[in-house]
Amino acid sequence: QVQLVESGGGLVQPGGSLRLSCAASGGGFSIVSMGWYRQAPGKQRESVATITIRGITNYADSVKGRFTISRDNAKNTLYLQMNSLKPEDTAVYYCNQRGVLPTVGGGYDSWGQGTQVTVSS
């Protein structure tokens, strides 16, 4: 129903920046919230930043002041601007979108395939 594709990951030095993008496609859904999650080796997936369709944001304490989540509704794209990157930010980053399906009356919870972010000198 909803397809999400992340891009923008890569290798960056500590203190550097990356901008992740998540393009959404499909139809018949109404977005409630979007977010970025990450999973580091040996750890559980954790929430990094979320944003509602009306712009309410929430950030993990570890990324506050460094990461910014935003969306472009016209382009159906979610972004994560990551600045002042640290080695501990190294993880696979996943895009998430949650919402409702008005026609069938149910909800959905979709995930992208993930994009690798590696912070190393």
Q: What is the mean pLDDT of the chain?
A: 95
Distance CA 86, CA 90 (A): 8
* pLDDT, tens digit (0-9, with 9 covering 90-100), for 55-66: 999 999 999 999
Which helix (DSSP H) or strand (DSSP E) does residue 19 occupy? strand 18-26
pLDDT of residue 73: 81
30-56 pLDDT, tens per residue? 999 999 999 999 999 999 999 998 999
Give the strand pairing for 10-12 and 115-119: parallel
Would the pLDDT of 1 be above 80?
A: no
